[in-house]
């Protein structure tokens, strides 16, 4: 059974600081996703990582994937208040293509002045 673990679950950081959120998963997978969710809202797709060593950046967020370590990171650079949200990683099941995503518990990020 595929398990996805995120840490930390809660993160309070000051504006301007850097931090990394970690996502570990238990079995081989082809794709890893990062989503952002604002309170009461849907899931906004941030990144889709498809291969070992993949790195994608969008603004102050950068995601990477190490399939050998079964680890993805979401790095936040110089945080600003607008980044406050819950961030989920999700992994396709084995032999992906059309398999349901397994989500981590989410990291609730709060950026404070």
Partner 1 sequence: EPEVTQTPSHQVTQMGQEVILRCVPISNHLYFYWYRQILGQKVEFLVSFYNNEISEKSEIFDDQFSVERPDGSNFTLKIRSTKLEDSAMYFCASIGNEQFFGPGTRLTVL
Cα(39)–Cα(53) distance, integer angstroms: 32
Cα(94)–Cα(12) distance, integer angstroms: 34
Contact residue for partner 1 among 33, 34, 70, 91 (CB under 8 A) = 33
Contact residue for partner 1 among 43, 62, 71, 80 (CB under 8 A) = 43
CB of 20 to partner 1, least distance (A): 20
Contact residue for partner 1 among 14, 95, 105, 112 (CB under 8 A) = 105
Looking at beta carbons only, is 15 or 58 nearer to partner 1? 58
Q: Spell out where the chain has E strands.
A: 4-7, 10-14, 19-25, 32-37, 43-49, 55-58, 61-66, 71-76, 85-92, 101-103, 107-112
What is the binding site for partner 1 (CB under 8 A)? 31, 33, 35, 40-43, 45, 48, 88, 90, 98-106
């Amino acid at each position: 059974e595929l398990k996805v673990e995120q840490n930390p679950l809660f993160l309070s950081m000051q504006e301007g600081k850097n931090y990394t959120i970690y996502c570990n998963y238990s079995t081989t997978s082809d794709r890893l996703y990062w989503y952002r969710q604002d309170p009461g809202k849907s899931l906004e797709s941030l990144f889709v990582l498809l291969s070992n060593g993949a790195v994608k950046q969008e603004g102050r967020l950068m995601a990477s994937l190490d399939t050998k370590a079964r680890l993805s990171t979401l790095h936040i650079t110089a945080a600003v208040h607008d980044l406050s949200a819950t961030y989920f990683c999700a992994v396709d099941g084995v032999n992906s293509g059309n398999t349901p995503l397994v989500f981590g518990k989410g990291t609730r990020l709060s950026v404070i002045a």
